[in-house]
Amino acid sequence: MSTLATHDRFGIFGGRYVPETLIPALEALDQALTQALADPAFRSEIDDLLGTYVGRPSPLSTAPRLSALAGAPVYLKREDLNHTGAHKINNTVGQAVLARRMGKRRIIAETGAGQHGVATATICARFGLQCVVYMGTEDMRRQELNVYRMRLMGATVTPVDSGTRTLKDATTEAIRDWVTNVNDSHYIIGSVVGPAPYPRMVREFQSVIGREARRQILERAGRLPHTVVACVGGGSNAIGIFSGFVDDRAVELIGVEAGGEGLDTDRHAASLTRGTPGVLHGSLSYLLQDAAGQVHPAHSISAGLDYPGVGPEHAYLKDSGRATYVAVSDAEALAAFELLSRSEGIIPALETAHAVAWVAAQAGRWQADQPVLLCVSGRGDKDVGQVSALGLGAGEAAGGVGRAGAAGAAPVGETSRR
Q: The dihedral of CA 372, 375, 381, 382: what is its sign? A: negative
Tell me: does residue 209 bind another protein (CB under 8 A).
no
CA distance 404 to 327: 19
Nearest-approach distance from CB 12 to ligand PLP, in angstroms: 21
Handedness of CA 105, 16, 228, 329 (dihedral sign): positive
Starting at the edge strand found earlier in the chain, the sheet holding 106-111 runs 156-160, 130-136, 106-111, 185-187
Closer by beta carbon to ligand PLP, 158 or else 370 = 158
| Distant-in-sequence, close-in-space partners of 74: CB < 8 Å, separation ≥ 6 | 62, 63, 66, 67, 359, 371, 372, 373, 374
Does 351 participate in catalysis according to the annotation?
Answer: no
- Which positions from 44 through 103 interact with ligand PLP, judged by CB under 6 A? 86
Does residue 285 interact with ligand PLP by CB under 6 A? no
Site for another protein in 117-176 (CB under 8 A): 162-163, 168, 172, 175-176
Residue 67 annotated as catalytic: no
The answer to the question of residue 216 lying near ligand PLP (CB under 6 A) is: no
Under rule CB under 8 A, which residues in 56-75 are in contact with another protein? Answer: none
Which of 186, 199, 23, 43 shows the shortest CA–CA distance to 108? 186
Binding marks (x or -) toward another protein, 259..298, rule CB under 8 A?
Answer: -------------------xxxxx----x-x-xxxxx---
200 touches another protein (CB under 8 A): no
Query: Which among another protein, ligand PLP, none contacts residue 413 (Cβ within 5 to 8 A by kind)?
Result: none
Indicate whether 17 belongs to the interface with another protein (CB under 8 A): yes
Is the Cα dihedral 27, 32, 38, 44 positive or negative?
Answer: negative
Q: Residue-wise over 325-338: b if at least 16 C-beta within 10 A, else e?
A: bbbbbbbbbbbbbb
As measured in angstroms, the least distance from the Cβ of 163 to another protein is 7
Residue 227 interacts with ligand PLP (CB under 6 A): yes or no: no
By rule CB under 6 A, what count of residues binds ligand PLP?
A: 21
Residues 6+ apart with CB under 8 A from 300: 258, 260, 268, 269, 306, 330
Looking at the Cβ atoms of 146 and 166, the one nearer to another protein is 166
Q: Which is nearer to ligand PLP, 89 or 182 (CB)?
A: 89
- Give every strand in the sheet of 227-231, ordered side by side: 60-62, 74-78, 372-376, 227-231, 252-260, 323-329
Q: Does 191 bind ligand PLP (CB under 6 A)?
A: yes
Q: Which among 191, 377, 382, 416 is annotated as catalytic?
A: 377
User: Please, what is the minimum distance in Å from the beta carbon of residue 21 to ligand PLP?
Assistant: 26
Could you say whether residue 197 binds ligand PLP (CB under 6 A)? no
Smaller CB separation from ligand PLP, 113 or 182:
113
* SS3 assignment for 57-81: CCCEEECHHHHHHHCCCEEEEEHHH
Q: In sequence order, what are the residues at sequence separation of 6 or more whose Cβ sits closer than 8 angstroms to the Cβ of residue 334?
A: 301, 350, 353, 387, 390, 392, 393
Residue 351 found at the interface with ligand PLP (CB under 6 A): yes
- Establish if 15 lies at the interface with another protein (CB under 8 A): yes
Q: How far is the CB of 127 from another protein (least distance, A)?
A: 24
Partners of 61 in the beta sheet? 76
Instruction: Residue 232: name the closest of 223, 224, 241 by CA.
Output: 241
Composition of the chain by helix, strand, coil, percent to 5: 50, 20, 35
Q: Report in angstroms how near the CB of residue 194 gets to another protein at its nearest.
A: 11
Task: Give the CB-nearest residue to ligand PLP.
Answer: 378
Under the binding rule (CB under 6 A), the answer on residue 352 touching ligand PLP is yes
Positions that interact with ligand PLP (CB under 6 A): 86, 112-113, 115-116, 191, 231-238, 304-305, 349, 351-352, 377-378
Residues belonging to the active site: 88, 110, 377
Positions that interact with another protein (CB under 8 A): 1-4, 15-25, 162-163, 168, 172, 175-176, 179-183, 278-282, 287, 289, 291-295
